[in-house]
Structure 1
Amino acid sequence: MLTLKIQQMTVDGHPYLCPDCASQAFTLDGSGFIDAFPVWGNCWNGHRWEEPLITLGTLKEIKAASTGRERAEDDDAFAIVIGGAVLAGILHPELTADDLKTAGGAAWKRIIKPAVRRRKRAAFRAVKRPVSNAVAAAQAAAIGAAWVLQAGGHSPDPDYKPEPINPCAACGGKGGHNIEYRLHKTTRVRCSVCSGTGEID
């Protein structure tokens, strides 16, 4: 997908505008793998239209013909000829290093300082997280020990086996079946429905 943000564009000297609101600024969105596909226009007011005269190949030509920006005062202009018509205009400016230098203090406050702050906080969290985890583990051990002391050293029954939450209907929650033979002794096989757990997910 190729999207070009256009500030203003003319076709043979006539302004090319949004058909609904006559806005100069819009985007041209092209998608597909064939250069002959038409593109869609989107203006800043939310209007959308199909532009069959401008194709994906045209967008690629505009992108290749754009002058780019070196300094803050430069315009990213383009001019191409499509079928005898001259398409000329200005693309939406991309941020350059010169823009940051020109903006000065505003760039420091809005872009650089928050980025430095984010990195500083990330480093602090990386150091703080293991420490807080160790403190939490120590607190959990202390609470567990206090609970055992208050409960009188209660130990659970070692023979206790909880009943299955959702018992298997095939084996009745036993986890297997006893197969009785006349020739051999009784054989226990694992239940293939619950895989021997006695529970169904």
Structure 2
Amino acid sequence: MIPDSVALGELERDALTEIVNIGVSRAASSLRKMIGDHVTLSVPSIDVVSQSRAARLISEREAADLVAVRQDFSGPFSGRALLIFPEANSLELVRAVTGDSLTAQEVVEMEHEALTETGNIILNSCLATMANMLKRSLTMTIPEVLRGNGATLFGVGANETADGLVLFLYIDFAVRKRDIRGYIAMIMDIPSLEVLKELLDEFIARVVGTDG
């Protein structure tokens, strides 16, 4: 059950979707420069769910093991951002990023570096855009690559308490005419989500005030 204090209303959800889409379009532009080919990125849907629900959602959609790039962020709101791909998609992403010039063995060897770089660009663009548009600043850690299933990535193992909530974003990702699906998840505690909701309300008031 999501507390009312952090449940996003329709306007808040629309505002956050717009902000994140600006972030990922900036990421797409950076990736385009990096690989010299067309990249499209969009976030069609956003939801706030529990960590266990996020783990279930991703396990229902993805039968294979997952690869994620993780960055922690702190500021007025804090948490952990994950860029998640099914394992097969992550190798496809490496092929796209490296221009299909590598052997199968080289693709596997390059995977960690290519994923870290791609994750850094996408997560940094999303978080920096959110911070900028909400008129705040965030500090981000160096990205790291994780592997496992939904339960592992969202910290809902037998020995872990998963009382945080997840801002769960589905992303459509196309590189060199390949469709590579993925997810962005931001794990935050209730106080952080309450702050984010307040900042979204301030943002909406500024935009409506400007338009009015």
Larger Rg: 1
Higher RCO by CA contacts (8 Å cutoff, separation 6 or greater): 2
TM-score, normalised to structure 1, is 0.22
Higher percent of residues as helix: 2
TM-score, normalised to structure 2, is 0.22
